[in-house]
Amino acid sequence: MRRIFIAGNWKMNTSSTEAQQLIEAIYAQTNDHEMDIAVCPPTVYLSAVSSYIKSNEQRKNLQIKLGAQNMHWEDKGAFTGEVSGQMLQDVGCTYVVLGHSERRALFSETNENINKKIHKALAIGLLPILCIGETLEERESGKEKEVITEQLTMGLKDLSPSQVETCTVAYEPVWAIGTGKTASPEMAQDMHAFIRQMLAQNYGDNVAQAVRIQYGGSVKPQNIKDLIAQADIDGALIGGASLKADSFSEIISICSA
């Protein structure tokens, strides 16, 4: 059985005060649950959120982990503005989101670069969340599975089956991100099953059955129940709704029911 994994991607939102208030409110409003939960604040607030998380480690059944939204594949050096995986670990990160569609579209991230980042993350013990997803144009022209195949295959290129097993894949159709338009549960399940089938072809059934595939794209308390009920949807990567503690906590609660 795959353990449900809910992650909040705060993107470029919150002030330092708001980040502090948000993590405090998430702890206050979330009941203890047997699932994996992560928050991914902006890089500059990772340390502060990390300290708060550490001070709550006594909540044995509410283990919130810290994730970053991106990283560079090199260890250190003349890469102005970049942050290394070691730096993320140093401030307490367990996860790192890689290949988010906003980074692909707005910051020219390529499958090759994303693959380098995944290799580095795994080499140092950070757990990658690889985001893949097609644009509206690609879906309307019937190319969604082709796009997903390329992003998945190239993103995971040259990884061993045991490395792939520790990755999470987030299927995020670009047309559903921040638009209020969620993929229907059936549409999402179809793509998740396709992704799992590809993982089985490339790495074997055991790996395919172990990898968690999150859905992302306008997830909210109103639609999570039907999404999480699908056989191949193992959790969610949540943007907008993760900025409201009550919505994020409600989503967690619905998933644990």
* Residues that bind ligand G3H in the complex, under the rule CB under 6 A: 9, 100, 172, 177-178, 216-219, 237-241
> What CA–CA distance (Å, rounded) separates 153 from 211?
14
> What CA–CA distance (Å, rounded) separates 232 from 214?
9
Beta carbon of residue 81, minimum distance to ligand G3H (angstroms, whole number): 21
239 is in an annotated binding site: yes
- Strand, helix or coil at 132? strand
> What CA–CA distance (Å, rounded) separates 64 from 57?
9
Q: Which two tokens stand for residue 96?
A: 């790192």
178 is in an annotated binding site: yes
Beta carbon of residue 218, minimum distance to ligand G3H (angstroms, whole number): 4
67 is in an annotated binding site: no
Q: Are 19 and 52 in contact (CB under 8 A)?
A: no
Nearer to ligand G3H, 208 or 241 (CB): 241
Beta carbon of residue 241, minimum distance to ligand G3H (angstroms, whole number): 6
Q: Are 6 and 66 in contact (CB under 8 A)?
A: no
Query: Which residue's structure tokens are 């900025």?
Result: 243
Beta carbon of residue 154, minimum distance to ligand G3H (angstroms, whole number): 20
> What CA–CA distance (Å, rounded) separates 126 from 71?
11
Query: Which residue's structure tokens are 């939102």?
Result: 13
240 is in an annotated binding site: yes
Question: Beta-carbon neighbour count of residue 93 at 10 Å?
Answer: 24
Which of 193-197's residues contact partners 24+ apart within 8 Å by CB, and which partners?
193/231, 193/232, 194/145, 194/148, 195/132, 195/148, 195/152, 195/169, 195/171, 195/232, 196/232
51 is in an annotated binding site: no
**β-pairing verdict for 127-132 and 212-215:** unpaired
Nearer to ligand G3H, 109 or 172 (CB): 172
- Whose CB is nearest to ligand G3H? 239
175 is in an annotated binding site: no
Beta carbon of residue 8, minimum distance to ligand G3H (angstroms, whole number): 8
Nearer to ligand G3H, 94 or 207 (CB): 94
- Catalytic residue ranges: 100, 172
Annotated binding site for substrate: 9-11, 178, 218, 239-240
